[in-house]
Every structure is written in structure tokens, then in C-alpha cells.
Chain A
Amino acid sequence: MRLHCDVVCVPRPDGIDPRGQDAYGFDERAGLVAVCDGAGSLFAAGDWARCLVRRFVADPEPLLYGDPGPWVAAAAADWRAGLDLDTAGDRVRRAAAGGSGATIAAIRGVPHPDGYRLDVAAVGDTFVFVVRRGLLCLAHPPLPGDTFPARPQLVTTSDPDPPARTSVELQPGDTIAIATDATARWVTGRGATFWPELATLPADRLAHALARRRDEGEIADDDLTLVRCHLR
């Protein structure tokens, strides 16, 4: 058994970066997936989100099991190296000194003789959902209820909040969905009947539905990212 992934990614059309400030990455053979949401009000947050995703796919263990401090420091060095600070003006140098931040949710699928385990680490309000036979059987971090946090915890370039970790045993046919906040808020607000749809709807139709609802104001004006993984 292994994870098979597809992606729904709908960046804001008017954002600072046409790629958006969300980032995702996966390595299906290694069972690794990460989704990050760069904090919109912070400098070069999309770049920071992409640095974190790349770092996780290359070196997942510190975030999942160890001390994430040096891991974050290495990602921050990557981020600064991409800013070309030698030729930058005072505003960019000041902004870079202030750093950046992002939320992250990351998973690793671990096959073992008795089955398949999913190890999960998350900081902030990017969520991992596990859907089994059409029912939600895990949301990590735990869902905050009606109101998502206005100031979620972040992995910053200087001082990471500690990751919330958990593990769950998967079964064949399970679907794992990893979603940034605006998508997660919409998905969880649709009620229990939506989980089977979330697991089975083709990615292009899901992307179209998300974009349309954002245009209509039903979903927050934000980048929308969802990575789905099917275990089979």
C-alpha cells in the first residue's frame, strides 16, 4: 500500500504572488506530504512556505519526531538566500530582518508488518483530515469550532511554535486531505454529508467549486489549497 496524491490549488487572483502564498509538496514513494500557508501580512510569506515544504520533503524527521529548531533555522537560511539582500533597498532589508511565518501540516505514511501508520505534525490552522468510509475519523489539529483563530500559531523564520503531533493507523481506502485554513473552514462547515464527496470528487471539479464559492463570497478571499491522498 502507498499514498496516491492529487492536488487542488486555487491561488487568489490578485495576490502579491501569482503562485499564491500557499505551498504544497509530496513524495508518494516515501509517503511524505506537506502543505503550508504563508502568513499574508508577513514578508515573502509564499517563499517561506515553499522553503518549509521543500525542507520537509527532503528531511521530514525533525518536524515529525525531533527538535524542529535547527530544521527551521536551515529553512530560514534557504529563505534568506533567495532574497538577494546584497542589492536590496532599505525596505527589503528591514522586512527580511522582521522575518516571515507560515502554518504547516505535514504527514508521513509508515508501512509496517501489521498495516500502515500515518504520522502527523502541524503548526497553526492548516489541517489534516482522515476520511474513512465517508466519515471523518481524524482532524488534526483538533478543529477550533465555529471560529478559526485570527492569529494562528506559526512556524516563523526565527522562533517556531512547537508542532502538534499525532499518529493514526490507516486502513486501505482511507482518504487523507490536507487543507489550508480557508479551504478547511469551508469543508468543515458543510457538515458530515460532505466527507464522502470530498474523498471522491474529481480534483478539477473541486477546484472549480472552490473558486466559484470564493468569487461569490461564501469562502474567504484567500489562497485555497487541498492535497488529497488515497491509500491503496
Chain B
Amino acid sequence: MTYSRRMSSRHPGCIVLLIDQSASMAEPIAGDAARRPRAMALAAAADQLLDELVQRCLDKSGRVMPWCDIAAIGYGGHGVRSLLQRPALQLDASADPARVFVSTADLDSYAETVPGTGDPLAPSRRWIQPVSDGVTPMVEAFTVTVALVSRWVAAHPESFPPVVLHITDAQFNTGDPTPQATALTNLRTADGSVLLFNLHLSGNAAEMIEYPAHPPQVGDEFATWLYQVSSPIPPQLAETSLFPLEKGARGFVLNGGAASLLRFFMWGTPGRVI
């Protein structure tokens, strides 16, 4: 029975946010009344996800359990960086997972406090800075991710497999990352293969396609590529979906806007297994 291991101190989970921070992320995101730049909407949604993960690992005394290791990796004109550390940590394939992954138990200590909104129950922490700069070194980002995740998997062979949530708005332009993406999804623990879910951000009103079971027929090679490297959604996760999924649906969203971004984060995170 795969994809059934619940996250725990002994068998923590692993979530990697892989975030495009290239120049085009400065453009407005679709479906956002405030017309925020994609980088800003993405940072806000990622912060919400990180906050929610900590909340899910909370016991009644306020102790946060070390049930999940998190990495946030950004790629753009600055290269590939780990975004949770201050300053952001430059990464290459030799990166040490112990310096990049942050346990849910420690995540709050990496956050900045946001000025109060007047609502004592509103989230008040920020982890991800919005950045938009330069090229799209996706191949380098996937290379680093494969290296980090493979070491994490070796150290946690019985855990729920890592989930990589990749958000991009553009074509890769420093090489073809297909071998790296394939290598990533070939990694596995005893509980299943690594899950790679991709979300393509859009600034226009083009038709959004969420979690398709067939390649999108939109005449866009990049969309087809993203679909092909996206993991099929395991039935154990599909059954927790709040909306119907076709059999064989993949973890892929095309032309997503602000709302789909948040849904992608919350849905792609295996909350049921925490």
C-alpha cells in the first residue's frame, strides 16, 4: 500500500517548493483584483502554505512537531537559492540537505513577523520574499532539487515520498531539464515515488486547465512538456480532492491564477497523511 505513510517524527515528510523567480514574474497575475505581480502573489501563497503546515503539526501545548522537512528553492537571474535562510543560500548540486531543509518544528524561527492587521487570529509570519530577476535556469534548479531530494530519500527510506511543488510562468532557457525532471520522479521511498506537481502561472485570461488526464491541446510545447513531467496523482491523494478528478489526472495546472495557486499549494500538500 503506497502513499499511505503518515508523517511523524520517526518518518517525517518532505515538501519542496520550487519557485521560478525570473524577470517575467514581475508581470501581473491573472485573476487578482489588485493586479499583484506574480512573484508577490506566489510569495503570499507560499507563506500561507508554510503557515498552514506549521499549524497542522501543532500539539495542544503549542509545541510544533518535526513531522515535515521543507525546502523553498528559487531560481532566476541570481542562480539557484534556498529561500528560507537569511540571506538566501546559494545552491549547487553539492548542497547539503541539512543546511537547506527546515523542519516544521523550526520553521517559525526562519520567519519574519508581519505588522499586525488588528486581527489576533490572522497569520503574522512571512518566509518568502517576492523576487523577479533575469533568466529561467530551470535545468540548474532541477539539478539541485534532484541532488537534495535524493539525499533526503536516502536518509528517510520509509517516509511518505517527497512532494515537489514547482511554479513557473515561462519556458526554460538554459537547457532542457527533462532528464533531471525524470530523475526526480524516479526517486522513491518504500512508500512511493517522488511526486512532482507543476503549476504554470498566467497573466492573461487564457483558459485554465487543472489536473488534466490528457496532454493539453493548446499548441504549446512547453505546456505539453510540463504535463508530461508531472506525476500522476496517486489514488490515495485523489480521493481527498474537493473536486472530481478524472482517472489518470496529473498534478499539473496550466494558466493558473491567484486562486488556483493557493488551491494547488493546499491540495498538493498531503495533509491527510499528517
Contacts and interface: CB of A to CB of B under 8 A. Distances in A.
The A contact surface, by secondary structure, is loop
Given A17-B59, A43-B58, A93-B120, A12 B65 contact: no
Given A97-B121, A151-B240, A14 B8 contact: yes
Interface residues of A, number: 31
A154 B240 CA distance: 15
A40 B6 contact: yes
Contacts of A217: 1, 4
Contacts of A147: 239
B1 A14 contact: no
A88 B62 contact: yes
B121 A93 contact: yes
A181 interface: no
Contacts of A47: 60
A15 B133 CA distance: 43
A125 interface: no
Interface in B51-100: 54-56, 58-62, 64-65
Contact of A92 (B56, B58, B271, B272): B58
Contacts of B9: 14
Nearest to A89: B62
B1 A40 contact: no
- Residue of A15, A91, A98 with most partner-chain B CB within 10 A: A91
B60 A94 contact: no
Contacts, number: 65
A91 B65 contact: no
A150 B6 contact: no
B36 interface: no
A119 interface: no
Interface stretch (A60-68, A191-199, A218-226): A218-226
Interface in A92-106: 92-95, 97-98
B143 interface: no
A128 interface: no
A136 B219 CA distance: 57
A222 B123 CA distance: 30
Q: What 5 A-B pairs are tightest by C-beta distance, nearest first?
A: A14-B8, A150-B239, A44-B60, A150-B240, A221-B6
5 contacts: A14-B6, A41-B271, A44-B60, A91-B108, A220-B1
Interface of B: 1, 4-6, 8-11, 54-56, 58-62, 64-65, 108, 120-121, 123-124, 239-240, 271-272, 274
Interface of A: 12-17, 40-41, 43-44, 47, 82-83, 88-95, 97-98, 147, 150-151, 217-218, 220-222
Given A44-B60, A89-B62, A90-B120, 15 more contacts: A14-B8, A16-B59, A40-B274, A41-B56, A91-B54, A91-B64, A92-B62, A93-B120, A93-B121, A95-B55, A98-B55, A150-B240, A151-B240, A218-B1, A221-B5
